[in-house]
Structure 1
Amino acid sequence: MMDQKPSFMLVDGMALLFRAFYATAVSGQYMINSKGIPTNGIHGFIKHMFTAVSTFKPTHLAVCWDMGSKTFRTELFSAYKGNRGEAPIELIPQFDLVKEVVDSFDIPNIGLAGFEADDCIGTIANQVKDFAHVSILTGDQDILQLLDEQISVILLKKGYGNYLVHTPETFFEEKGITPRQMIDLKALMGDPSDNYPGVKGIGEKTALKLLKEFNHVEGIVSNLDLLSKSYRSKIEQDLDMLHLSRKLAEIKCDVPISCAIESAGLKIERDKALNKLMELEIRGLQRLLPIDEAIIL
C-alpha cells in the first residue's frame, strides 16, 4: 500500500480555542492554576484537537492562528470585525500559552501578520492537496468556500467528538451552489459576524436565487437589466460595497507561507508533551495524546 496518500489535517486554532473557552467560561470555570493563569481554553483546545485526531486519524497536522486584529481586510474596510469587543481578560494569556503547548507536541504553529488563520489554511491546503488528502478542522462555516475534491471540512458541532463533514457534494446538496459561489453569496448578503453589509435588502434567499441564475457577482452585475426593478436598484445603490464585500469574503490562498509536510508528521515526544502540560497544571488529557503504542510517524 505504498501509494497511500498522507492525510493532512489543518486546524483552525482560533475557532477551537474560542469554542473551548466560551463553553466553560459561561459557568465561570476558568481552571485557574496555582500561578493564577486560566487554562480552560487550552484544556478544551487540546481535547477538541486530539478527539478529532483519534476520530479521523490524520498522518500530519498543523495549526493556523490569527496574528492580531489588523489584516489586509481592516485596511480595505476599517469596520471589518469592528463589532467584536476586546478578548476577555481570562483568555488573553492563553493565546501565547496554547501555541507553546502545540510546540511541545512538535506540531507546527502557522500564522502571518496581516492575514487571518483562514488565509493560512487556504494557502497550505492548496499547496499540499496534490499529494495529500486535506481536512480542515474548524467551527467556522466561512471555510466551506475552500472545499474541493481534495479538501474536506470537518465542522465541530456541540460538545466533543460531534462533527459534520462537508465535501463539495454535501455542500451542494445543502445549499444548491458550489463552494466557490459561497464567496459571492457573502458578497451579496454581507456577514454580520464580520461586520460588513453586502447589499442592503438582499438576504440569503434572494442571493441564492440570483446566483443560481447568474452564477456569480460579475454575472449578476452584467445582467442588471434582466433583474426586477427592486433588485436592480438595491444592487446599483450598493455596487461598491458589493465588490468590496466580495474581497472581504474571499479567503486568500496565496499568502507567503509554507509548511513542509515532513515538519508536520504527528510524532509527539511523550516527556516533552507531558512536562508542558504539568507545567501548566493541565490534567486528565494524557490518554488523549497520540503517543507510545499509538505513535503515528
Structure 2
Amino acid sequence: MPKFLIIDGSSMLSTSYYGNLPKSILFAKTDEEKEKHYSEILHTSGGQYTNAMFTMLRTLIGVYKKVKPEYIAFTFDMTRDTFRRTQLGADFYKANRKATAKPLKEQFIQMEEFLKVIGCPVFMSPDYEADDYAASLVEKFQGPNLQTYVLTKDHDYFQLVSPYTRMWRVVTKDKLEVLKDAYSLYGKDVYDVLPANVFEYTPEIVYSEEGVYPEQIPALLAITGDPGDGIPGCKGVSSAAAPLVAEYKTLDAIYEAIEDCGGITKNEKELNAFWKESLGVSRSPMKALKANKEMVYLSEKLATMKKDIVIQEDLNDLRLNIDIDELIRQLKNYEMHSLVSEIENLR
C-alpha cells in the first residue's frame, strides 16, 4: 500500500535546533548570556546558522532510507497570531512561550525555502498552525487505499490517529523502550522499518495512554488544559477528565448530565455518587465544571485541529519527487558536505 508521510516541520526543526546547541548556550541563564555565544552555533563561512537545518536534514535522510514514502508533505507554523487569537479572541493562547531565538527564526525561513526549491510540498499560512494543515491533509487524503503517517513529537496529534492514519511520535530512547515493553500489538520487527526513536500510535494505544479515543482528545484537553499551549481547561478537574470523557464521549453530553440535575442538590448528589462509584471519580468536579463552562468550551476550540482548510493540491501533487541536483546544490551552498556524500550514495 502506498505511504503518505506528513511531517510536522516546526516541531522537527525546533527539536533539531535545541538538540544541536553548544553547552554554553544550553546552560546560559539569561537571553543576553545566550546571545554572547551565538557565534559558537554551527554556521556557514558566510554566517548563516545551520545547526537545526543540518540535524533535521540528516534525520530526514534517515527517515527516507527507512520509510521511502510515495507521498510527502511538510507543515510549518508562521506565527502565533492565528485564528485562535484573531477569531476566537484567545490572546492568552501560547502567550507563555518565549520569542523564538534569532538563530532558529532565521533557520525556519531557510529550511522552508530549502524544502520548496528541492521539490517538497510545504504548507503554512498566517491563519493556521502546522497541526491544522496536518489535520486538513489527513482529512482530505486518508482512506483504505493509502497508509498515512504523521511524524511529530507533539501529543496533540493523537486526535488524528485512525484506522487509516498512524501517529509516529518522536520520543527519547528510554521512553521508546518503555512503550515497546508496554504494548505488544506489534511484533518487534516493526521497529526495524520505523524511523529512529519513533513509536507508532494506533487508536487502541492512544486509548491505553490517554483513557479516551483519538476523536475525544479535544474534549479531554478542554478539561485538563494544556500548559504548553496555554490552554486553561478547568482547574482542579484533570484527574476526572478522562473518566468523564470516556463515559459521555462529548462535552455536550457531560454538561447535559449536569443540567439534567436542574440545580437540585439531591439530584447533583446522585450524579456525584454515580461518578464516584462507577467512574472512580473521587473528588467531584461538578462545581468547577459549572463555574468554568465557557472556558472549557473555548479550550476545546483551541485544542481542536482544523480539518477544513482548503487543500488545492491533489495526491499526485504530493508525490515524493526530489530534484537531486538541486538538493546537492543547496547542501553545498550551506556547506553540508557530509550530507552531500550521503545523497550521492543514494543515487
Correspondence for 1:118 among 109, 114, 131: 131
Q: Distance in 1 between matches of 2:71 and 2:58?
A: 17
Query: What are the ranges of 5 or more consecutive residues in structure 1 without an aligned counterpart?
Result: none
**Shift in Å at residue 99 of structure 1?**
1.2
Paired residue for 1:175, among 206, 210, 225?
A: 210
Letter in 2 for 1:10: I
Question: Structure 1 residues 7 and 291, CA, compared in 2 at 3 Å: closer, same or farther?
Answer: farther
Deviation at 1:289, TM superposition (A): 4.3
1:200 aligns with 2:235: yes
Residue 5 of structure 2 is matched in structure 1 by 9
- Aligned residue type for 2:217: M
Q: SS state of the match for residue 180, structure 1?
A: helix
Give a deviation string over 1:237-260, Cα, whole Å, max 9, x none: 100000000000000100123332
Matched-pair identity in %: 27
Please tell me whether the aligned partners of residues 269 and 291 of structure 1 are also in contact (alpha carbons under 8 angstroms): no
Determine which of 243, 261, 265 is the counterpart of 1:209. 243
Bigger helix share:
2
Does residue 54 (structure 1) correspond to residue 51 (structure 2)? The answer is: no
- 1: CA distance, partners of 2:198 / 2:244: 31
- Stretch moving more, 114-123 or 45-54: 45-54
Greater radius of gyration (CA): 2
1:288–1:185 distance in 2 versus 1, CA, 3 Å: farther
For 1:211, what is the secondary structure of its paired residue? helix
Aligned match of 2:189: none
Give 2:159's match in structure 1, choosing from 121, 125, 145: 145
Q: CA deviation at 1:282?
A: 2.0
Which is worse superposed, 222-231 or 244-253?
222-231
Cα distance, 1:232 vs. partner?
1.0
Distance (whole Å) between structure 1 residues aligned to residue 310 and residue 345 of structure 2: 32
Does the C-alpha gap of structure 1 residues 171 and 26 become closer, same or farther in structure 2, counting only changes over 3 Å? farther
Q: Deviations over 1:169-216 (max 9, x none)?
A: 22123233210111111000111011121111111x311121222222
- 1:273 corresponds to: 327
TM-score, reference length from structure 2: 0.78
Out of 296, 306, 317, the residue aligned to residue 242 of structure 1 is 296
Normalising to structure 1: TM-score of the pair? 0.91
CA contact (8 A) 2:231 2:303 kept: no
Q: Tell me, what secondary structure is at the counterpart of 1:103?
A: helix
- SS at 2:95 equivalent: coil
* Contact kept? 2:44, 2:335, Cα under 8 Å: yes
Does residue 92 in structure 1 map to residue 105 in structure 2? yes
Q: Could you tell me whether the CA contact under 8 Å between 1:47 and 1:288 is conserved in 2?
A: no
Q: Distance in 2 between matches of 1:127 and 1:291?
A: 35
2: CA distance, partners of 1:292 / 1:282: 16
Residue 43 of structure 2 is aligned to residue 32 of structure 1: yes
Please tell me whether the aligned partners of residues 12 and 64 of structure 1 are also in contact (alpha carbons under 8 angstroms): yes
Bigger Cα displacement from structure 2, 113-122 vs 224-233: 224-233
Structure 1 stretches of 4+ moved >6 Å = none
Number of equivalences: 288
Question: Which ranges in structure 2 are unaligned for 5 or more consecutive residues?
Answer: 26-39, 174-194, 262-270, 274-282
Decide which moves more: 66-75 or 140-149: 66-75
